[in-house]
Amino acid sequence: MFLKFLRLEIKSFFRGTSLGINLAMKIFRFLGILSFILYFIGGAFLAFFYVQKELEQDPLKVVSKYLILVWVADLVFKYMMQQISAQNIKPFLTLNIPKRTLVNYTLIKTFLSPFSWMNSWFFITFSVILLYNGYSISGVLCWLVGISSLLYLNNFLNIFFNDKENVAIGVGVGIAAFALLEYYQIVPVLNYSETLFYSLYESPYFALIPVILFVVLWQLCYRYIFKEFYLDKGLEIKKEVGKTENIAFLNKYGSLGTFINNDIKMLRRNKVTKGVLLGSLMFTFYGLLMFTSPVYKTPYMMMFMGLFVTGGFQFLFGQRVPAFDSSYYPLMMTLNVPYKEYLKAKWWLMIIVTSVSMILALFYALISWETYLTFFAAGLYNIGVNSQFTLWSGAYNKMQVDLNSKEKRMGQKNSFNLKALLLLIPKLILPMVVFGIMKYFSGMTAAVISIAVLGLIGFFLREKIFDIIVKQYKREKYTTIEAFKNKD
């Protein structure tokens, strides 16, 4: 039965619309997965030989020490990126197929996702290296089985946390608390991790514990899904009572204020847009990567980081205009909507958040004023130039966004467009080149002024640029409507 389900999904892939784009994205995805597999395999060799020769420690103990961090990172990553695919299962609920078979297939399918098994390449390769270097066969195999069981049971935890944001937040707070206890050396979490995971090798029978946990969680998850596995219950789109909210002072700005009001409501109410706000806040700390490598301290990379530190909201929100309105965009296009005001509302919202990000980035002055001035210059460029080019690239984004569910998919077929990629030149490459050249020949002040001048030029020419953007959106109007209507 499982093989029949897989064959049906393969057929649906080749019989669906946009086969060429789907196939191209699958190829790119395969290349990406292959590169990550090679990274994991290389990381296993590095983890063993570097620790053994350079640090002169037991590689298995060192890896076991940091496995708690790997387990937490794996859980967080799966929560953010992976979800149960229920849409392909719905049609089978009306057929004479045992529901337990469908539930088991749904659970098994989570293990077929690359997010589930890619990290196994590290542990398998590392285990083979351990065996080759004389470690106990039974100990290594039980260690591998125990670690794999703990990582794979994250799939079940992800299912339990998937629609329970309060529980997920509570778990996140708990993880942060343990991180602080380890950081301030109140509780040696990493030492406990080494003792716990290394015991799987020293005492192989301990491997039964994670295996039993895996089986128990499988049963609990099976019962949880089985109880909710109905078209009119668990798989139904959840509906909530709508609440009327209004930011009154924006109404005096006419249609522009109305559009901004609606966007603020959207950002506050929906899971996807809340994720955009959270992602924008996380981008503010992107500049801390300077501590990890000297490469990031070069003028070009400092400007690159500054563009993301101050413009995270632009890149996450702006390039998905009008995708955030995809559910009612076809209806909106039948009305007398002032297109320029509609886009200006998005633009002003990006300007406001970018300005706030520039203020929040003040803590980088503690590193150096040169760093903050670089990020400040990047913020000015984001306000004057990137905000408009980001909106421009949104005209080519035909990806539907479901505001009622967490967006955990990457590389959707309609988000891939050559024209949008070409717009990265003025958005990223131009400011990096100008800033780097000006700083090299004329110093920091000239570099900041040059980027600020480009930002001011873009800001004062915004009306002309908006006319071009509006024409492009109107040119893409009907293909966008067709893409948003197509639910395949």
- What does the pLDDT read at residue 215? 92
- What does the pLDDT read at residue 200? 92
Residue type, 351: I
Q: Return d(Cα 367, Cα 383) in angstroms, integer.
A: 24
Our CA dihedral for 168, 171, 175, 176, rounded to 10 degrees, sits at 70
CB 361 within 8 A of CB 288: no
Mean pLDDT of 205-219: 92
CB 129 within 8 A of CB 44: yes
The structure's pTM equals 0.57
Mean pLDDT of 274-303: 73
Banded model confidence at residue 273, pLDDT cuts 50, 70, 90: confident
- What does the pLDDT read at residue 325? 79
Q: Return d(Cα 386, Cα 51) in angstroms, integer.
A: 45
Q: Return d(Cα 2, Cα 107) in angstroms, integer.
A: 11
Percent of the chain with pLDDT over 70: 77
- What does the pLDDT read at residue 208? 93
Q: pLDDT (tens digit, 9 = 90+) per residue, 440-472? A: 888 888 888 898 889 889 888 888 888 888 888
Q: Name the region of 402 (left: φ>0; alpha: ψ -120 to 50; beta: rest).
A: beta
Q: pLDDT (tens digit, 9 = 90+) per residue, 373-413? A: 888 888 998 898 888 888 887 777 777 776 665 444 433 44
- What does the pLDDT read at residue 407? 44
How many CB atoms are located within 10 Å of the residue 139 CB? 19
Q: Where are the alpha helices (DSSP H) in 253-385?
A: 254-269, 271-283, 299-317, 329-332, 339-360, 369-381
Banded model confidence at residue 14, pLDDT cuts 50, 70, 90: low
Inform me whether the pLDDT recorded for 237 exceeds 70.
no
Mean pLDDT of 83-87: 57
Inform me whether the pLDDT recorded for 18 exceeds 60.
no
Inform me whether the pLDDT recorded for 477 exceeds 90.
no
Q: Return d(Cα 3, Cα 6) in angstroms, integer.
A: 5
Q: Return d(Cα 167, Cα 165) in angstroms, integer.
A: 5
- DSSP collapsed to 3 states, 228-271: HCCCCCCCCCCCCCCCCCCCHHHHHHHHHHHHHHHHHHHHHHCH
Inform me whether the pLDDT recorded for 130 exceeds 90.
yes
Q: Return d(Cα 385, Cα 394) in angstroms, integer.
A: 15
Residue type, 42: G
**Of 75-79, 306-310, 311-315, 456-460, minimum mean pLDDT range:** 75-79
**Of 87-96, 204-213, 288-297, 322-331, minimum mean pLDDT range:** 288-297
**Of 72-81, 361-370, 375-384, 449-458, minimum mean pLDDT range:** 72-81
Inform me whether the pLDDT recorded for 415 exceeds 50.
no
Q: Which tokens in the block code for residue 205? A: 């029978």
Mean pLDDT of 17-28: 58
Q: Return d(Cα 359, Cα 285) in angstroms, integer.
A: 13
Question: Measured in Å, how far apart are the chain's first and last C-alpha atoms?
Answer: 24
Inform me whether the pLDDT recorded for 308 exceeds 70.
yes
Q: Return d(Cα 388, Cα 466) in angstroms, integer.
A: 7
- What does the pLDDT read at residue 293? 56
How many CB atoms are located within 10 Å of the residue 339 CB? 16
Mean pLDDT of 152-178: 78
CB 322 within 8 A of CB 393: no
Q: pLDDT (tens digit, 9 = 90+) per residue, 314-360? A: 888 877 788 787 777 787 777 777 778 888 888 888 898 899 988 98
Q: b or e along 342-360 (b: 16 or more beta carbons within 10 Å of the residue's beta carbon)?
A: bbbbbbbbbbebbeebbee
Mean pLDDT, the chain, whole residue set? 78
In sequence order, which residues have a C-beta less than 8 Å from that of residue 258 and are 6 or more positions away? 250, 251, 345
How many CB atoms are located within 10 Å of the residue 8 CB? 13
**Of 84-88, 132-136, 160-164, minimum mean pLDDT range:** 84-88
Residue whose pair of structure tokens reads 């997010």 in the numeric block? 115
